Amino acid sequence: MQPNKPKTRRPRTGQKTVRITDVATTAGVSPITVSRVFNAPHTVAPETLNRVRRAVADLGYVPNRLAGGLSSAKSRLIAAIVPTLAHSLFSATVQAFSDTMSRAGYQVLLGLSGYSDEDEDQLLDAILSRRPEGVFLTGVAHTPTLRERLRKIGIPIVETWDMSDDPIDMLVGFSHHQIGVAVAERFVARGTRRPALVSANDQRALARRRGFVETLAKHGIDDVAETLMPAPSSVALGKEGLRRVLETRAGVDAIFCSSDLLALGVVSEARRLAIDIPGRIAVCGFGDLEFGADTLPALTTVRVDGRRIGATAARCLIDRLNGATERTRVDVGFELVERETL
């Protein structure tokens, strides 16, 4: 008997494509029934429907809605999903990503997911049916079902704008938690004793919130006035956030905002209320949007190189599509940019 050889992981680009016949065999039905599950699920008995869907999930099958004669061709498409393009942070990333992929002969199919896990699942399902050769995702917080499916579909995946010890495949981003830590340390260094937080409620903003609150607690400051706002952020929500903070806590001397838009709203409302920034309340945002340096006073913020994230993510995908097998993980870091509000 020959000794068992250790199993080696094959590159994602070389994995076998799961076909509709594989799903049919696993579910114990005909290929026509599988097709009906995708195209007319209301015509399929519930028990059969569930059996086919379990087989689809187990095998990582993606329906091919391209013309039959083209099903074996390379699509040259890369799917990119971001929450919004309203902020220049994401738009700069997408532009750099698209430019780099285009130079390599690929086209980017862009989808906007908002800040909903369910919307991301549905959007990715629709995009995957176009047979992209790779996927660009924003963040690492996905539903367990989606994570498992993405691990099985057999194409390169690059997650961005976050850090994780367990990425789906490749990862290019930075630590939101460490940003919260850095801002808290700076607040403490300036003598802050009664800090507040005005934050969106999405996963990445909440990670910054955790780093901020936990670090302050280590310095004996465990009473942080917090106001959470729905994503996406806006100037109007920042104004409302400051009003809520002032209604619930007296003597606040520094506010960390989860975005520059919220911070601009805070500064604007403070000006209306004749509150001195930074004399009475210091303010720090996140994102270093274009207007930050031109506000009065100029906004202190956290800068992330969105273009570098996009270009690096593209190069990771291109390398993988060209045969590389390394599971790349790149931390681009961040910079605290001090201006006049701190």
Residue 113 belongs to domain with CATH number:
3.40.50.2300
Asked, for residue 162, whether it belongs to a domain, the answer is yes
Asked, for residue 62, whether it belongs to a domain, the answer is no
pLDDT at 113: 83
Asked, for residue 327, whether it belongs to a domain, the answer is yes
Q: Are residues 192 and 270 in the same domain?
A: yes
Measured at the CA of 129, the angle between CA 84 and CA 56, to 5 degrees, comes to 115
pLDDT at 85: 78
Q: Are residues 184 and 250 in the same domain?
A: yes
pLDDT at 72: 45
Q: Are residues 276 and 228 in the same domain?
A: yes
Q: Are residues 256 and 296 in the same domain?
A: yes
In degrees and rounded to multiples of 5, residue 70 shows phi and psi of -105, 0
Total count of domains within the chain: 3
Query: Which domain, by its residues, includes 49?
Result: 6-56
Q: What is the tens place of the pLDDT at every residue in 257-298?
A: 999 999 999 999 999 999 999 999 999 999 998 888 999 999
Q: How far apart are CA 295 and CA 299, in angstroms?
A: 6
Whole-angstrom CA distances from 276 to 105, 211, 254, 262, 282 are: 53, 27, 11, 17, 9
pLDDT at 71: 45
Which of 138, 122, 135 has the alpha carbon at shortest distance from 87? Answer: 138
pLDDT in tens, the chain (342 residues): 444 444 444 444 445 688 899 999 999 999 999 888 877 777 889 999 999 999 998 888 877 655 444 444 577 899 999 988 777 778 899 999 999 999 998 999 998 887 777 777 778 878 887 889 999 999 998 888 888 888 888 899 999 999 999 999 999 999 999 999 999 999 999 999 999 999 999 999 999 999 999 999 999 999 999 999 998 899 999 999 999 999 999 999 999 999 999 999 999 999 999 999 999 999 999 999 888 899 999 999 999 999 999 999 999 999 999 998 888 999 999 999 999 999
Q: How far apart are CA 258 and CA 204, in angstroms?
A: 9
Q: Are residues 214 and 282 in the same domain?
A: yes
Q: What is the tens place of the pLDDT at every residue in 221-232?
A: 999 999 999 988
pLDDT at 65: 54
pLDDT at 7: 43
Q: Are residues 90 and 158 in the same domain?
A: yes
Maximum alpha-carbon separation in the chain: 85
Q: Are residues 97 and 200 in the same domain?
A: no
Beta carbons within 10 angstroms of residue 331's beta carbon: 12
Asked, for residue 158, whether it belongs to a domain, the answer is yes
